[in-house]
Amino acid sequence: MSRRRDDLWGIVALTLALANAGGAAAHEWQWGGKLDLTRGVANVEGAGGGGLATWALITGNETRDGVGGEVSATYVGLPNYSVRDFGVGLGLFDRVETTVSEASFDTGATGAKLGLGRNFTFDQTIVGAKVRLMGDALYSQSSWLPQVAAGVQYKVNDQNAVVHLVGARSDQGVDYYVAATKIVLDQSLLLNATVRETRANQFGFLGFGGDRSGGYSAQFEGSAAYLASSRLALGLEYRTKPDNLGFAREDNAYDLFAAYALTKSLSVTAAYVDLGDIATFRNQHGAYISLQAGF
């Protein structure tokens, strides 16, 4: 597993090096330039977006003439579980995004009840890439055409034996998605819709595919936010998920969030999140908090 993760990080480093070489030849890089919060925040999989959904926005504060990035730390506290995620992302010319995150799903005292042991943890590495295909979420206010981006996320779970035991078909998988995002300034609204092709069980923490269904299915992610000020966004999100495992039902998820830009570079997101039933334990809802530093 450690070697496979080293390979993933090597792929990311090579991708960034090539992008750096190509961008340097064509541009004199500039730093910053975006309005507050218009890079989105880092979601549960490290990509630029809301807390649950992936948006078409590109991470980092860069404009079309520069490079930017973001580091993030996220914690989700639930009645029977907790999730921690640390991520880094790079945005190039407001066109390409590359992200890597390390996420941990901690079973706490519930691990003993599941026969796994107290504080048993599922760790997952997620490597993502996103490309803006068309449109501009902010600067094309005369048109309703949204910003559209396509992306991919490669996820690797470190608990091969356990995820197979609960019925998953693999400990790794690839998600594909297309996202459309529009910021309507005169209405102070941000709207997003994403379609994701995935086999992931509970975002991948319980493996990929299952005894009920092993193939890909199309899932929806929607977000709506009110821009209360240039620094504060209030919104809600809804995300559907596959239900592949026979031993436990998997519910859709939603959140109610507030994102605030403390400074040009530092923002915080707080949310109430409801993930439904997880691994036979019902009503998994609680607090979501995330800190993001962008440049």
Structural domain that includes position 37 = 2-294
Instruction: Calculate what percentage of the chain has a pLDDT beyond 90.
Output: 66
The pLDDT value given to residue 26: 45
Sign, CA dihedral 207-210-215-216, equals negative
The pLDDT value given to residue 36: 61
Do the strands 67-77 and 285-294 form a parallel or antiparallel pair, or are they unpaired? antiparallel
Domain with residue 276: its CATH number is 2.40.160.40
| Model pTM score | 0.87
CB crowding 237-251: b at 16 or more within 10 Å, else e:
bebbbbbbbeebebb
Write out pLDDT tens, residues 120-155. 999 999 999 999 999 988 777 777 889 999 999 999
Write out pLDDT tens, residues 201-255. 999 999 999 999 989 999 999 999 999 998 899 999 999 999 999 988 999 999 9
Write out pLDDT tens, residues 60-98. 877 787 888 889 999 999 999 999 999 999 999 889 999
18, pLDDT greater than 60? no
Q: Which two tokens stand for residue 250?
A: 């998997």
In this structure, of 41-45, 118-122, 182-186, 273-277, the range with the lowest mean pLDDT score is: 41-45
- Non-local CB neighbours of 127 within 8 Å, separated by 6+ positions: 8, 11, 12, 99, 100, 153, 154
The pLDDT value given to residue 226: 96
Q: How many residues are given for the chain? A: 295
Is residue 7 a contact partner of residue 164, using CB atoms and an 8 Å limit? no
Number of domains in the chain: 1
Q: Considering only residues 274 and 18, tell me which one the structure prediction assigns the higher pLDDT.
A: 274
Find, among 289, 231, 265, the residue nearest to 71 by Cα. 265
Question: What's at 29, amino acid-wise?
Answer: W
